[in-house]
Structure 1
Amino acid sequence: MKLTETILHKAAPYPLVAFDVFDTLIKRDVARPTDLFALLGADFAKARIQAEAEARAAKSGEVTLAEIYARPCLAGYDPAAECAAEIACAVPNLPVLKAARALHAQGKRLYYISDMYLPKVQLDAMLAKCGYDFFDGGFVSADYGVQKRSGKLFRLFLQKTQTQAKEVLFIGDNWRADVAGSALAGIRSWHLPTQEVPRESLPAGAVAAFTANRLPGIESEAERLGFATLGPLAVAYCQWLHAREQQHPNAKIHFLARDMYLMRQVYALLYPQEQTAYLQVSRRSLCPLLLAQHRWDLLLAALPRQSLTGAQIAAYCGTACPMDLQEKSYDLKHGPDTARPLLQALATPQSAAAVSAYLTRQNLQAGDILVDIGSGGTTQMLLQAVCNIKLHGCQLSCDDRLRGRLREDETAVFLFDGRPAPLLYWAGQPMLERLISEDVGATLGYTQTDKTITVQQASQPPTPLLDALQKGILRFAQDWQKSFLQTLAIPPQTAISPFLRLVGQPTAGETALLGDLTVEDGGVYPLATPRKVGYYLTHANQAKQDLSAARWKIGFLKRLAPLPLPYDRLYAKMKK
């Protein structure tokens, strides 16, 4: 919005405004122009770069696309493929598009001037595709053999349009060609500030460019955050899942509630022809059946890893606790086996039959794919036991418990080469699970009446912030599916990097936006809600308690003291 207003202010005194094209009027969904060639094939990219270098060496001044394709190394290649890719990869620079439309509405004459080997007809097609269908004309160096940087293309523009230099404002992003070049022709210019996109190679550079090109069109701060931070992760994970599904063509994909709810929506956007299922199962919902089957070890693995009373454990399992054990405390994190006598004393819950009936209706088959956010593979292990089948697990991440429970051929892990996730990931994992989960309460169990089975969920009010964040994630997936990049596989490290940046180096605005969210972790805890610094100066113990309760401790520290400090490194030292 500020960029649009600045352009309108700068252009106000001039009857004619001219623009540079690339990185001014339009952008590409790649970080470097040569990446467009790479998307068309490695062999073509090598030949195409060589051909342009040879063409420029053989001629002074601008070369044409025809001259580039006349080089022997490009024999057999059709320039139409490159031209089609240029159109497909072009997107509008949204603030500039908005300004140009406003200038056109004001009656100003509008032109574009570009140093480019592509012909004018190609640039016209790209500009029209991006919404610039109202220009009065354009001047391209390839058509005239002179360039902007020499000032000659600007002089030719003044001559052809019969315009005096003082009547023109030129807007471009390049100091040498746009600012200095126009000055050589006596034309006033304004340098367009541009957001720096990392000039990384494919595919990381393309993801960064794709994201940056679309963020100006998203007004909601929460939606922008979802788009940029979790959109790439969701798309990359679903691409990986699709590849796994192709390796198991007879398997059905079951997305596990609640943390895989959004991933299923993204998967449906990317692969609408495929049928998937949503399995409303939690460790808690399986406990009544495990208790009825006397699966003590599995039941201990299903219980929350924290200190609970006998009454709380019984309630978790859907039954009542003997009176003499109700107040006894059990440390399920450090000594879970101490609860084994309690479990053996609990009565079989009536809801066990409803659990079995629900699982039967889901028609889980051997070899089906179970999609989970993951850590230790507990839910897969429990489902395999109670259903007496082997599933193929697909987890986003894992910890060091996974391989002690499931073989590598039983469970695949997307992130970190299948190894246990690093400390920084776990520092934000509760937040990640909350941000991508269905915005409903936990799955508690099931009730069965005649032929109807109802899933019981904990009460939870809707959270508008989550809705906005998830809209951003879905928007990324929709835009990616429509883009030239749709077949480009996003690698795991590229996908998770924006989220790890959010976790370890959040801005003050991000901690303010997300900090008040709560997460479930055997209870309900805030992500990052510190009190005022002055309060902690006189209540040091409360500071320790609040930090302990926070499930995003780096965010807690940043929100408490919004300074440019390496909070991720401070957190790592605290953990040690």
Structure 2
Amino acid sequence: MNLTELICRRAARADAVAFDVFDTLIKRDTATPADLFRLRGEAFYTARIEAEREARAVKGGEVTLAEIYARPCLAGYDPAQECAAELAACVPYRPVLDAVQQLRRQGKKLYYISDMYLPQAQVDAMLRRCGYPAFDGGLVSSTYGVQKRSGKLFRQFLHETELDARQVLFIGDSWRADVAGAALAGIPAWHLPTPPQPADAVAAFAENRLPALQPGGQALGFSVLGPLAVAFCKWLHDRRAAHPAARLYFLARDMYLMREVYGLLYPEEKTEYLQVSRRSLAPAFLAEGEYACVLAALPRQRLTGAQLAAYCGTVCPDSEAESVFNLKTPDTEALYAFLAKLPRPETADAVMGYLQSKQLRAGDILVDIGSGGTTQLLLEKLLGTELHGMQLSADDRLRSRFSAARTEVFLFDGAPAPRIYWAGQPLLERLLSQDVGATLSYTKTPAGFRVNTAAQPAEPLLAELQRGVLYFAQGWQESVLNGQAIEPQCAITPFLRLVESPTALQAKLLGDLTVEDGGIYPLAAPRSAGYYLTHPAAAGRDLGTARWKIGFLKRLAPLPLPYGKIYQKLKK
């Protein structure tokens, strides 16, 4: 039974139902009420906290907003700004809103009772903004100078409504103020189960809106990737200000969704989409005999001569087709000798033609998901100019290639990402990417250059996930939080939590996705445990090819085990 149904069942025998307001009927897009003060700066925050403390000490009881702002430390501040911020930050608690609407249709009398310094007109405005139907009445402690926890505000409610306490059910989130306070007035009360206090504004914002989303891809994209996308794009925007003449090039396919989010947040800014891959650049290096660059462009896999030649856009001599090259630990002498035998790729000239058509200049910004900066390195080699990298993450190769002044990194203070991040990086890459095959080559046409991509069927789940990310970005932009930066650690935490400790549903939902890395590999798609009992060698092979091994283990045995910790121990 969901929370809406539970509320309606609890209220079935009551003639009137009264609700607490804050954290029951409505929530704020901040972790705590006082965090709303911080949105106006630390000076105001400190003064506002002190003013309320002083006002309560002087009066010895409940206070009004006017009495708080009458304190000397708030001289010059306008209470109307606080009221506006409260109005902007409030959202309905969706299960309770749905229950109130159902109870109204059933003909129940509906009331609210709140311990709050805000004036009642402000509370009414917030409830209207959140979509609540008109209540039959409401009591706010600031109007009467008494609170719920003493039972006096509840007695005042009974006096004004002339209701018998036994006719009423009160619902609130506080055991002390709501349940115990109502009991002091003889009113039956029910404690509303609520999620734990959110850790920060990002968590509060996400939790407040998740009940309105259907479980599945959209909710997962909203809560897991939405904060990361918005935080990264805001960081990009701030960093771009230091390079006013530079153009912003988002690299396909990994940065497709990031570009969509950036365009939503900053619609007035022009950006470019550079459809390159290491594979699409390889023919140009092969044609020039730059074999070290060809090696850098190749996937770190075991490839046959035929596969390697196809990757470079050419054909392989029959005598070399079955040769095998381990590109994880390459024999460079043998590899370079093989590359020298390959015919010049017909697509080599089109690579430079496409790049020249995009008009990259020195200092232009490349936005990439990032690891060692290989794509930036290859592009700079082809173009003969220095570019500026802005990456989501990095590994330990990056700083051996580029200084922090040349390539900036958003996550983990610019240091190499931790092992648990790389355990999920293929998953992240797939979820952020444009839902098309890898960029293979370019063809010159009268209109310019056509980008040729590998065949790849559309994935409905990916479209649903990415809609959730865009919904988060749109909501954040429209919220009172829009001017606030999201710290990198806060932004990546939901994704790392998913990678390390997925639920069985999450592992099942995402595990059948595939990733391209010199081949097509499943993220986490084990066969049945029964199959592996009779084919034990297959278990090791399938785990080896899975690109999200923690998800693989979770799907194989959906038990409450610390698969993330098990994986990290195995990696050590």
Contact 1:87/1:125 (<8 A) preserved: yes
Q: Which of residues 486, 490, 499 is equivalent to 2:482?
A: 486
- Report the equivalent of 1:319: 314
Determine whether 1:57 maps to 2:31: no
Contact 1:300/1:336 (<8 A) preserved: no
Question: Aligned AA for 1:319?
Answer: T
Aligned equivalents of 1:92, 1:140: Cα separation in 2: 18
- Report the equivalent of 2:11: 11
Report the secondary structure of 2:190's partner residue: strand
- Report the equivalent of 2:392: 396
Determine whether 1:241 maps to 2:236: yes
Question: Which residues of 2 match residues 448-463 of structure 1 at below 5 A?
Answer: 448-463=444-459
Q: Which of residues 254, 269, 282 is equivalent to 2:249?
A: 254
1:347 Cα deviation (Å)? 2.0
Q: Which of residues 505, 510, 518 is equivalent to 1:514?
A: 510
Report the secondary structure of 2:34's partner residue: helix
Contact 1:104/1:134 (<8 A) preserved: no
- Report the equivalent of 1:214: 209
Aligned equivalents of 2:244, 2:525: Cα separation in 1: 47
1:288 Cα deviation (Å)? 1.5
Aligned equivalents of 1:323, 1:57: Cα separation in 2: 90
Q: Sort the Cα spacing of 1:544 and 1:173 in 2 relative to 1 into closer, same or farther, 3 A.
A: same
Question: Aligned AA for 1:59?
Answer: K
Aligned equivalents of 1:475, 1:118: Cα separation in 2: 31
- Report the equivalent of 1:283: 278
1:102 Cα deviation (Å)? 1.8
Question: Aligned AA for 2:49?
Answer: I
Question: Aligned AA for 2:65?
Answer: L
Question: Aligned AA for 2:39?
Answer: L
- Report the equivalent of 1:562: 558
Aligned equivalents of 1:317, 1:539: Cα separation in 2: 37
1:212 Cα deviation (Å)? 0.6
Determine whether 1:94 maps to 2:80: no
- Report the equivalent of 2:34: 34
1:464 Cα deviation (Å)? 0.9
Contact 2:101/2:133 (<8 A) preserved: no
* Pairwise CA RMSD: 1.3
- Report the equivalent of 2:536: 540
Report the secondary structure of 2:539's partner residue: helix
Report the secondary structure of 1:33's partner residue: coil
- Summarize deviations over 1:222-275 as a string: whole Å, max 9, x none: 111111111111111111111111111111111111110000001111111111
1:544 Cα deviation (Å)? 1.0
Question: Aligned AA for 1:403?
Answer: R
Moved more, 279-288 or 561-570: 561-570
Q: TM-score, normalised by structure 1?
A: 0.97
Aligned equivalents of 1:287, 1:528: Cα separation in 2: 30
Aligned equivalents of 1:449, 1:515: Cα separation in 2: 39
For structure 1, the 5+ residue unaligned runs are: none
For structure 2, the 5+ residue unaligned runs are: none
- Summarize deviations over 1:261-314 as a string: whole Å, max 9, x none: 000001111111111111111011111111222222111111111222222211
- Summarize deviations over 1:519-567 as a string: whole Å, max 9, x none: 1122111111222223323322111111111111111111222222211
Determine whether 1:431 maps to 2:427: yes
Question: Aligned AA for 1:513?
Answer: L
- Summarize deviations over 1:317-352 as a string: whole Å, max 9, x none: 111223332222222220251311122222222211
Q: TM-score, normalised by structure 2?
A: 0.98
Aligned equivalents of 1:63, 1:275: Cα separation in 2: 51
- Report the equivalent of 2:330: 335
1:31 Cα deviation (Å)? 1.1
Aligned equivalents of 1:129, 1:449: Cα separation in 2: 55
Contact 1:83/1:122 (<8 A) preserved: yes
Determine whether 1:467 maps to 2:466: no
1:133 Cα deviation (Å)? 4.2
Question: Which residues of 2 match residues 12-411 of structure 1 at below 5 A?
Answer: 12-198=12-198, 200=199, 205-337=200-332, 338-411=334-407
Q: Sort the Cα spacing of 1:438 and 1:131 in 2 relative to 1 into closer, same or farther, 3 A.
A: same
Q: Sort the Cα spacing of 1:539 and 1:64 in 2 relative to 1 into closer, same or farther, 3 A.
A: same
Identity of aligned residues (%): 64
Aligned equivalents of 1:192, 1:331: Cα separation in 2: 60
Report how many aligned residue pairs link the two structures: 571
1:145 Cα deviation (Å)? 0.7
- Summarize deviations over 1:493-541 as a string: whole Å, max 9, x none: 1111111111111111111111111111221111112222233233221
Contact 1:63/1:142 (<8 A) preserved: yes
Question: Aligned AA for 1:488?
Answer: Q
Aligned equivalents of 2:313, 2:545: Cα separation in 1: 27
Question: Aligned AA for 1:536?
Answer: Y
Question: Aligned AA for 2:203?
Answer: A
Aligned equivalents of 1:396, 1:336: Cα separation in 2: 32
1:221 Cα deviation (Å)? 1.4
Aligned equivalents of 1:47, 1:449: Cα separation in 2: 66
Report the secondary structure of 1:196's partner residue: coil
Aligned equivalents of 1:314, 1:421: Cα separation in 2: 33
Contact 1:197/1:208 (<8 A) preserved: no
Report the secondary structure of 1:148's partner residue: coil
Aligned equivalents of 1:451, 1:387: Cα separation in 2: 22
Aligned equivalents of 2:530, 2:343: Cα separation in 1: 52
Contact 1:301/1:378 (<8 A) preserved: yes
Aligned equivalents of 1:521, 1:444: Cα separation in 2: 13
Aligned equivalents of 1:306, 1:174: Cα separation in 2: 58
- Summarize deviations over 1:109-130 as a string: whole Å, max 9, x none: 2111101111101111111111
Aligned equivalents of 1:36, 1:148: Cα separation in 2: 23
Contact 1:260/1:372 (<8 A) preserved: yes
Contact 1:558/1:567 (<8 A) preserved: yes
Aligned equivalents of 1:61, 1:221: Cα separation in 2: 47
Aligned equivalents of 1:504, 1:395: Cα separation in 2: 23
